[in-house]
Structure 1
């Protein structure tokens, strides 16, 4: 087996065990109010946009309702509308910054469906380019991300203000 150094994972691993039983990452981030440190790129009325700390591609964001709910049918109408307004705004901001050739947009509701944080729904918006799924994941079980999160944060924060 080959080793790929990923020192940024140390923060995730050490913090994962510190989370209080029953706490929610998405709720905690909003309570803290430190948007830059927590990678919150935009706050709407009923939902917000946050960078995925372990992105599939550069610009991978998640749109999250403020209210802690585990499934889409539990959202109030105004929460649902704001959530999807921010999905649209995310697509526009990502197009402005990265000019992707496509997007994957989706929700994993429940552990069986692949939800990493199953108690608080969120919509993934992943920009895609032809060839972004190259041989690296297949041959070496490695995904190459070409931009650090701080740079992505700065670019998208600016783009959301302009969108």
Structure 2
């Protein structure tokens, strides 16, 4: 059966008399993801004028998916999360390499990483974390010109075959709801 995010249940079943043998799988049809797969509208972030991490802090927190703001860094929900609650800690300053951070930025990035872990444990019961940076395209950075640290919450049994076999990640909440939940659990949030 073919399902679409805009129309979860098709009005009529997709005929199973085409080429191939029916396999019993249901299909989740999400054509809007093709632009991402093809790399369309992908920004390089090479300069502050086209960098999403320079643009996001100018937005309202809910609109930019910002969980918390510091004096030198901010923490934002990843628009393309590896797992529900995947956060990124970013300096406001457009800098590409960890060694280019000043001492204040380095300290606040570490503090926000720690606070992100506390908030994710409180909000969602995270049992572990993957934390790290991908600096440079060869290291896997999607946006190479603006440093960002990933904080990915993990739970027992959160890995399965869907991402490997079908390139599909199941997320239990809308991103805005996840942002609100984590922001509400951020230490010192009122």
- Smaller-chain TM-score range? 0.7 to 0.9
Match of 1:75 among 96, 101, 123: 101
Name the Cα RMSD after superposition: 2.6
- Partner-residue secondary structure (3-state), 1:16: coil
Q: Does 1:26 align with 2:37?
A: no
Shift in alpha-carbon separation, 1:79–1:101, aligned structure 2, 3 A: same
Match of 1:155 among 181, 185, 188: 181
- Partner-residue secondary structure (3-state), 2:29: coil
Partner Cα separation in structure 2 for residue 43 and residue 102 of structure 1: 23
After superposition, where does 1:14-163 map in structure 2 within 5 Å? 16=41, 22=47, 23-30=50-57, 32-162=58-188
* Matching residue of 1:5: 29
| TM-score (normalised: structure 1) | 0.87
Bigger proportion of residues as helix: 1
Cα deviations by residue, 1:106-154 (Å, 9 ceiling, x for unpaired): 0000000000010000000000111111122233332211121011011
* Number of corresponding residues: 161
- Partner-residue secondary structure (3-state), 2:171: coil
Q: Which runs of 5+ in 1 are unaligned?
A: none
| TM-score (normalised: structure 2) | 0.75
Cα deviations by residue, 1:43-83 (Å, 9 ceiling, x for unpaired): 01110000001111111000000111000000000010001
Q: Which runs of 5+ in 2 are unaligned?
A: 1-25
Larger relative CO (CA 8 A, sep 6+): 1 or 2? 1
